[in-house]
Amino acid sequence: MDIFSVEFLVALLSIIMIDLVLAGDNAIVIGMSAKNLPEHHRKKAIIWGTVGAVVVRILATLAIVWLLKIPGLQLVGGIILIGIAYKLLIDESDIDDHKASTNLWGAIGTIIVADTIMGLDNVLAVAGAAHGSFLLVVLGLIISVPIMVWGSTMFIKLIDRFPVIIYIGSGVLAFTAARMITHEAFLKDFFESNPIISYGMIAIVTIGVILAGRFKNRKLVHMADEVEHDSK
């Protein structure tokens, strides 16, 4: 494909639009992962985590034909993402703030893993829009970097002002995970023919993660209060 052709420009614009539309949930997971870090480490985690995730996405996009042949890919990815949504919610507890604040590389690792899993829809969409052009894949995903960095930075600022948003963010990740599971190739026909079960499962997973995280956080706070009371 000629880089000066209208076809190339249209394909590139399509990829940019895909990144804009699908970057929202990825910005959330990046923001949640970096939230517990001190101010001077947040930007590093966001930038390096995003760069790492984009590199993985480029490789995944180039190998998408092979990846699509792996049975259970979305099922496994969805299950892992449920665990990440819960973990990020628990990491917001004041009990864990000090421990989490020192783990810059842990935050970067979480960003790369979670963003890669959540980026499956992005990878599929970009691969389709690129029409086999390696240059388009690279350009499109590089352009997605500032979009996700800006979005995740804004999300952190919102969490600082309105802590309850962390539960909304966790719910979004859990919702995304549940949808990945229902869209798994060998399960898709079952869920499409039983929409009530599909919607019910998505609701249970989303609400379940939020409630489980809320219960765990309350328990940790209660334990901390008891320890503080005993020490007096």
Burial 75-110 (b: 16+ CB within 10 A, else e): bebbebbbebbbebbbbbbebeeeebeebbebbbeb
The answer to whether residues 116 and 67 touch, using CB atoms and an 8 Å cutoff, is no
Closest CA to 111 of 88, 140, 139: 88
Give 174's DSSP letter: H
Q: d(Cα 16, Cα 140) in Å, to the nearest integer?
A: 6
Q: Record the pTM.
A: 0.63
Q: d(Cα 212, Cα 190) in Å, to the nearest integer?
A: 28
Q: d(Cα 184, Cα 181) in Å, to the nearest integer?
A: 5
Residue ranges per domain, the chain? 6-231
Residue pLDDT tens, the chain, 232 long: 566 677 777 777 777 766 665 666 677 777 777 777 777 788 888 888 877 877 777 777 667 656 656 788 778 878 887 887 888 777 544 444 434 444 677 778 877 877 777 666 666 666 666 666 777 777 776 777 777 777 777 777 777 788 788 888 788 878 878 888 888 888 888 999 999 999 999 999 999 999 998 888 888 777 777 766 666 5
Length of the chain: 232
Amino acid at 145: V
Residue 143: per-residue pLDDT: 73
Residue 210: per-residue pLDDT: 92
**Consecutive H or E run containing 81:** helix 73-90
Q: d(Cα 67, Cα 103) in Å, to the nearest integer?
A: 31
State both tokens at 174: 């859990």
168 to each of 111, 164, 216, how far by Cα in Å? Answer: 18, 7, 16
The answer to whether residues 136 and 11 touch, using CB atoms and an 8 Å cutoff, is yes
Residue 118: per-residue pLDDT: 66
Burial class (CB in 10 A: 0-12, 13-18, 19+), 120: buried
Residue 169: per-residue pLDDT: 78
Residue 161: per-residue pLDDT: 82
Residue 195: per-residue pLDDT: 92
